[in-house]
């Protein structure tokens, strides 16, 4: 209970220790004082005992003397006897009768006087109750006072005839002198104990408190500033030293644990972002692959009938030319046909038919040729058969993509025409993943079209520039620029982030550029960046190596 209370007191350990040692020293001094007082008391008791014995002997002698000489106990002999005793013992002696009148005294002039005052009262008490008393007499003769002892004068147990008053200062002093060395030893020992306790207390408390304090300081700094490089100084080799070593180990351990934790969370973060990206790519790849399949399927389905039509147009042309030739021959042979025939000839407007039929056939030929071209582009764009690394003509890919985007470039009721300015350089065949690269062209071109459409509402001719060139280090560079809105400064750092979009929901997904960036940098070991001026337009630059199929495996 008490220990619990002691532990719960809100006090520093050093103060508690110091308090304990101060208490111990106080206790020691109290014990010392008590011991000294006790020694004095013992000395006093011994002195009293001796004085009592002397007084008793005196009393017995007086009584005996009177008995043997058959006189009253207070005879003249008594005075002589007292003087003799005084001579022997060198002490003041007075004998009083029951009325406290002095009957014998070392100072004979005092005989006959009655003791009065305090002394008289005390003596009277002893005569009444038979108890020995001590008292301090202050008189003109003894300004410092003399110690007196009053012993009853008894002839037998029942009768008190008076009292013997004996001076016992010297006895007392003697006794005190005897215990003096003991008292000094006790005093010195107690004092030494107090000093020792205090110094030890101070030493121990500071030897415990100081390391503890420095440990507390270090612990606080470590937690507040997260500085795990701090160490507790190891001053001693005792428990506090061991504690300091253990504490330093603890800090070290926490540091490594935190580092591990940090690394693990970084790994997790990385894994998460990888997962995210993979997911994105999967979604996009899946989207593009189903789009590709659809496109390829449609292209394939259209291809046969179109070829069939295209192939037959030549024959139709020939057959109709033949038929027309035949008709002309008939007209030549029969310049005046019968009425009914002439009527039909007028109705069908033969001259117009001659003229229009060849035009019609010509436009049909152009139309089917166009369809064939589109089908080819669609097949090329989807390039389902070309999932692996392959050397291709990049211009073909760009053109195919443009062809697919034709509907966004043409002047329609919903939008206006966008001028495309191509500036193709001399490029070798470039090793790449064609389908994926086309996807990049598509994303960048779509963004450019969105940007010019948005800004063209402010009266500018919408333009796209597509240029290619072979640059140093066997690299090709594709630049796709627009005079669209441009990219605001604060968004520039974010446009390659997945899901970053400024377009309304449903229109933008924020995936185009992030996927394109991945395709260029990771799949093609290339670079992709952009330059932009707000309100003037943007330019996206893609650079990829000419050869890489070997490296990519």
Ligand X SMILES: Nc1ncnc2c1ncn2[C@@H]1O[C@H](COP(=O)(O)OP(=O)(O)O)[C@@H](O)[C@H]1O
Catalog residues that contact ligand X under the rule CB under 6 A.
443, 447-448, 451, 482, 484-485, 487, 495, 500-503, 508-514, 538
Tell me if 498 contacts Mg ion by CB under 5 A.
no
Tell me if 516 contacts Mg ion by CB under 5 A.
no
| Site map 293..322 versus Mg ion, x via CB under 5 A | ------------------------------
Structure tokens at 46: 């011994």
Q: Which is nearer to ligand X, 339 or 505 (CB)?
A: 505
| Residue 422, helix vs strand vs coil | strand
Q: Which does 484 bind (CB under 5 to 8 A by kind): ligand X, Mg ion, none?
A: ligand X
Whole-angstrom Cα distance, residue 460 to residue 499? 30
| Nearest-approach distance from CB 537 to ligand X, in angstroms | 7
Contacts of 247 (CB under 8 A, 6+ apart): 215, 218, 219, 232
Q: Which does 300 bind (CB under 5 to 8 A by kind): Mg ion, ligand X, none?
A: none
Span of 185-193, 305-313, 345-353, 504-512 interacting with Mg ion by CB under 5 A: 504-512
Report the 10 Å Cβ neighbour count for 476: 20
Span of 336-344, 409-417, 443-451, 526-534 interacting with Mg ion by CB under 5 A: 443-451
CB of 404 closer than 8 Å to CB of 521 = no
Contacts of 16 (CB under 8 A, 6+ apart): 6, 9
Task: Kindly give the pairing relationship between strand 463-471 and strand 419-423.
Answer: parallel
| Nearest-approach distance from CB 437 to Mg ion, in angstroms | 16
| Nearest-approach distance from CB 502 to ligand X, in angstroms | 3
Cβ-count burial 58-88 (b if 16+ within 10 Å, e if not): bbeebbebbeeeeeebbbeebbebbeebbee
CB of 32 closer than 8 Å to CB of 189 = yes
CA Rg, the chain, in Å?
66
Q: Which does 487 bind (CB under 5 to 8 A by kind): ligand X, Mg ion, none?
A: ligand X
Q: Which is nearer to ligand X, 292 or 484 (CB)?
A: 484
Q: Which is nearer to Mg ion, 61 or 502 (CB)?
A: 502
Contacts of 465 (CB under 8 A, 6+ apart): 420, 421, 422, 423, 479, 480, 481, 482, 539
Q: Which is nearer to ligand X, 392 or 480 (CB)?
A: 480
The DSSP element (H or E) to which 385 belongs, if any, is none
Tell me if 447 contacts Mg ion by CB under 5 A.
yes
Q: Which does 502 bind (CB under 5 to 8 A by kind): ligand X, Mg ion, none?
A: ligand X
Tell me phi and psi for residue 213, to 5 degrees.
Answer: -65, -45
Residue selected from 498, 512, 526, 537 as contacting Mg ion according to rule CB under 5 A = 512
**Chain residues that interact with Mg ion, rule: CB under 5 A:** 447, 512
């Amino acid at each position: 209970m008490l220990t619990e209370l002691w532990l719960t007191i809100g006090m520093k350990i050093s103060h508690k220790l110091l308090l304990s040692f101060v208490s111990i020293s106080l206790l020691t001094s109290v014990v010392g004082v008590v011991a000294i007082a006790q020694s004095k008391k013992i000395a006093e008791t011994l002195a009293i005992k001796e004085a009592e014995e002397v007084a008793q002997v005196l009393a017995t002698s007086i009584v005996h003397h009177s008995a043997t000489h058959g006189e009253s106990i207070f005879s003249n002999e008594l005075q002589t006897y007292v003087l003799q005793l005084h001579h022997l013992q060198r002490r003041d002696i007075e004998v009083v009768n029951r009325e406290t009148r002095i009957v014998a005294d070392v100072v004979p002039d005092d005989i006959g006087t009655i003791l009065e005052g305090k002394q008289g009262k005390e003596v009277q008490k002893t005569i009444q109750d038979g108890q020995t008393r001590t008292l301090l007499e202050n008189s003109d003769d003894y300004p410092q006072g003399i110690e007196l002892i009053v012993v009853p004068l008894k002839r037998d147990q029942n009768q008190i005839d008076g009292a013997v008053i004996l001076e016992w200062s010297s006895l007392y002093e003697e006794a005190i002198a005897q215990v003096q060395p003991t008292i000094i030893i006790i005093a010195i020992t107690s004092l030494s104990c107090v000093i020792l306790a205090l110094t030890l207390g101070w030493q121990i408390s500071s030897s415990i408190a100081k390391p503890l304090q420095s440990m507390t300081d270090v612990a606080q700094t470590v937690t507040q500033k997260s500085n795990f490089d701090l160490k507790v100084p190891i001053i001693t080799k005792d428990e506090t030293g061991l504690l300091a070593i253990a504490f330093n180990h603890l800090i070290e351990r926490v540091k490594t644990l935190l580092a591990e934790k940090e690394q693990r969370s970084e790994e997790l973060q990385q894994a998460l972002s990888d997962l995210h990206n993979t997911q994105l790519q999967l979604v996009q790849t899946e989207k593009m692959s189903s789009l590709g399949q659809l496109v390829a399927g449609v292209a394939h389905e259209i291809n046969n009938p179109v070829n069939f039509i295209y192939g037959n147009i030549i024959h139709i042309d020939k057959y109709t030319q033949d038929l027309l030739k035949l008709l002309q021959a008939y007209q030549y042979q029969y310049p005046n046909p019968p009425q009914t025939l002439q009527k039909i000839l007028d109705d069908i407007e033969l001259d117009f038919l001659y003229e229009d039929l060849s035009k019609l056939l010509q436009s049909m030929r152009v139309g089917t040729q166009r369809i064939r071209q589109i089908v080819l582009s669609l097949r090329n764009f989807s390039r389902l058969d070309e999932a692996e690394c392959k050397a291709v003509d990049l211009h073909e890919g760009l053109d195919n993509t443009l062809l697919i985007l034709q509907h966004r470039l043409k002047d329609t009721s919903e939008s206006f025409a966008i001028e495309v300015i191509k500036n193709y350089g001399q490029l070798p065949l470039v090793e790449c993943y064609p389908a994926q690269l086309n996807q990049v062209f598509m994303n960048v071109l779509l963004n450019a079209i969105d940007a010019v459409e948005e800004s063209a509402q402010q009266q500018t001719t919408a333009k796209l520039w597509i240029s290619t060139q072979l640059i140093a280090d066997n690299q090709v560079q594709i630049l796709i620029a627009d005079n669209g809105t441009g990219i605001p400064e604060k968004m520039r750092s974010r446009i390659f982030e997945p899901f970053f979009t400024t377009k309304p929901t449903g229109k933008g997904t924020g995936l185009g550029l992030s996927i394109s960036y991945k395709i260029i940098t990771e799949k093609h070991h290339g670079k992709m960046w952009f330059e932009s001026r707000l309100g003037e337009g943007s330019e996206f630059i893609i650079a990829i190596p000419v050869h890489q199929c070997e490296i990519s495996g």
